[in-house]
Structure 1
């Protein structure tokens, strides 16, 4: 029994940044092994954009790990708090969303998370249910449970306060309402990103204040670097891998990450055990395994999770054909443009480059091919016709010039 608990805790802690209350979690896992009694584990998601990327799924993967060891997951969609906007890590107040935007985005989340989570042990919750029931009196009572001085201990609030930049009262409400979610759901454990630590600790404080006779344990996970290996995965930076991307695109993007970053992706995204991952590392270190083969295994696993095994194998076949035989992908998106368009403008409009300046740099670096021919002329303009345009090894578009 003791060995089983140790192994479970090792998997739970894997890849985590910080762990508060590990003894309590170990006791919950032990209780599950002895009596099959499950415990409540929660993570909140504000549906501020319609689609998830792999950076978001780090937290969801950890929820799935807890399900293996007795966790009943409360997948909390912050339909109320998303209309406020969480300022965590932000230098200014975040734009508030309309209720309809939140509900539309929440629906796509519900469709995507069950590619990872076990529906049998997952409950989708919306925090508007209990927050709307609080009423004015309940909200006033909630504000009495926490001081302004404590609120200003949060790094982003403290910085803005010292710099005389505005902090709205509604922003103070966000961590209080997130903490109240833990009261309403009677949480045993709450998960969040590094930037959520303060909010997660507020939940512990409020559970005591409301007489729950418990303090939820807290586990934070690191932010996942994107394809550039430097910045966190983000749609705005263009370094993301979306969970709804087509199989070839997903597979190719995973294959593009560095060998060093690959191991972090394994730790945070793979369902392989710690021992299985260590065996792969040992194989690479001894020279028995090539890093490319190990990366292919990761790309196949993740692509199959969001599509199917057959789709992931087809993506690998297509990828190998493109990279080893200089073939073109089977599924190239098409866009129409007007005759005379400048190559740099086309690359920007097609989202092959983030800006015309980046397009110039890619062309000068030899990264542009038009109909499989390398083009170095940054002033190139198109005549009427059909062109297959390639930037780097994995970005393609079929341009119809009218």
Structure 2
């Protein structure tokens, strides 16, 4: 693919592009010298799971790989100990080395559900930062000013409102930028909330006598609530290592507008295909439930297999669609305190009855079902294990999804 065609492909789905002209020059040089560009993206292992929010960025990295370039998947095990101040109105808690190390193990495994292992270099910024001497850190710090740091909205707002800014927080963008110097990155990718940090990398490369990296940002993905950005801390995430059933079920709970957003940011559909999809939904030519199932199948197939996606679709239709069950039923976390959970006790616990005697009458009247099968024994003891999930139904319209923890 020609450099011009590569730029056009890379531009699609990007937000900030610093700069298109510079990237074209790099691509022309790469093309003529037959030398792939180094494409860097950093991920702080502050949590153990990669989720669909990360997948937006990983998809763009994969796009570069498909164009023949080398991706550097940088695990920020050093920067994770600082805590990224981006978008925060207070100092983030510092993670222990043990926490970061454990989380980093999962990242280096999960990333290859999307990226090509043969075209990916995985490295950790502790490899050079843990060895850095105090004098070297002072030298890096001398290349950037506090005035420039305070141009960041989050730092500026905290400064104006007399909220504390710890000195170590200023180190975060500096270290992230210094990573680009060490790796001699040609391009760095990040979410739109990372733009400032990525530009620091350009500045430090210039001051170190290197050709500055190009910067590309991608949209920040909203979580399943459609409000906050996707994050485990907001409990609004779909992890790429969630079970196929969880991925399918969480996707089916998305609102219709959010579903379109996920199609746009997480699939390979073109703008024209997205526009057509929206028109078909508006005209009634396409049903939201069917379109959502297609999206859920896409995710399961991507992270597992096509056969698993078909299996989950069939399961969903058996449990939900064919029984007229709503897809947004309430989820109950149940932690058994003893072996053998009495069905009547469970019915009362989820609020389907005010007493076990009322629950017993529901069972005796054949009004209770588990995963579509009627419960006929009011003395039934259920052997529930951690990780079990099932649908409990009482009467015609009361449903609950039970998750055993």
TM-score tier by shorter-chain length is: 0.7 to 0.9
Cα distance in 2 for partners of 1:223, 1:292 equals 25
The answer as to 2:272 corresponding to 1:267 is no
Change (3 A) 1:210 1:345: farther
Match of 2:61 in 1: 63
Q: Distance in 1 between matches of 2:91 and 2:310?
A: 45
Corresponding residue for residue 122 of structure 1: 120
| Residue 232 (structure 2) aligned to one of 230, 235, 239 | 235
Alpha-carbon separation, structure 1, partners of 2:27 and 2:276: 26
The structure having more radius of gyration, on CA atoms, is: 2
Alignment partner, residue 364 of structure 1: none
Q: 1:128 to 1:385 in 2, by over 3 A?
A: same
Deviates more, 1:253-262 or 1:183-192: 253-262
Unpaired runs of 5+ residues, structure 1, are: 349-369, 374-382
The question of whether the paired residues in 1 share the 8 Å contact of 2:81 and 2:94 is answered with yes
Of 187, 196, 199 in structure 2, the residue corresponding to residue 198 of structure 1 is 196
Q: Residue 42 of structure 1 aligns with which residue?
A: 40
- Deviates most, 117-126 or 391-400: 391-400
Instruction: Describe the shift of the 1:399–1:176 C-alpha distance in structure 2 as closer, same or farther (beyond 3 A).
Output: closer
**TM-score scaled to structure 1, two decimals?**
0.81
Shift of 1:104: 0.8
Distance 1:98 1:393, change over 3 A: farther
Q: CA deviation at 1:37?
A: 2.1
CA separation of 1:34/1:211 partners in 2, compared to 1, >3 Å: closer, same or farther? closer
| Distance in 1 (alpha carbons) for counterparts of 2:213 and 2:160 | 32
Alignment partners' CA distance in 1, 2:284 and 2:312: 27
Aligned to 1:336: 336
Which of residues 208, 214, 218 is equivalent to 1:221? Answer: 218
The Cα of 1:237 is off from its aligned counterpart by: 2.5
Q: CA, structure 1 residues 49+300, in 2 after alignment: closer, same or farther (shift >3 Å)?
A: same
* Whole-angstrom distance in 2 between the partners of 1:342 and 1:393: 16
Distance 1:37 1:189, change over 3 A: same
1:336 is paired with a residue whose SS is: coil
Aligned partner of 2:244 among 239, 244, 247: 247
1:129-144 matches, cutoff 5 A: 129-144=127-142
SS at match of 1:17: coil
Q: Which residue of 2 aligns with 1:362?
A: none
In 2 relative to 1, CA 301–292 (structure 1 residues): closer, same or farther, beyond 3 Å? same
**Structure-1 residue corresponding to 2:306:** 309
Provide the residue aligned with 2:289 in structure 1: 292
Alignment deviations for residues 31-90 of structure 1 (CA, whole Å, 9 cap, x no partner): 455554210111111101111111121111111111122331111101111111111111
Aligned residue in 2 for 1:396 = 401
Stretches of structure 2 that go unaligned for 5 or more consecutive residues are 352-366, 371-378, 385-389
Alignment of 1:351-390 (within 5 A): 371-372=368-369, 385-386=381-382, 390=392
Contact 1:337 1:399 in 2 (8 A): no
Q: Distance in 2 between matches of 1:240 and 1:188?
A: 31
In structure 2, relative to structure 1, the CA distance for the partners of 1:136 and 1:301 (3 Å cut) is same
Whole-angstrom CA distance in 2 between matches of 1:253 and 1:18: 30
TM-score (norm 2): 0.80
Whether the 8 Å CA contact 1:389–1:398 is kept in 2: the answer is no
Residue 90 of structure 2 is matched in structure 1 by 92
Change (3 A) 1:112 1:251: same
The worse-fitting range, judged by mean Cα deviation, of 219-228 and 179-188 is 219-228
Residue by residue, what CA displacement relative to the aligned partner does 1:137-174 show, whole Å, maximum 9, x if unpaired? 11011111011111111111111112222211111111
Task: Give the paired residue count.
Answer: 366
Moved more, 162-171 or 112-121: 162-171
Q: Structure 1 residue 395: deviation in Å?
A: 6.1
Change (3 A) 1:199 1:317: same
Indicate conservation of the 8 Å contact 2:125/2:179, yes or no. Answer: yes
Aligned pair partner of 1:325 in 317, 322, 327: 322
Any idea what SS the aligned residue of 1:74 has?
Answer: strand
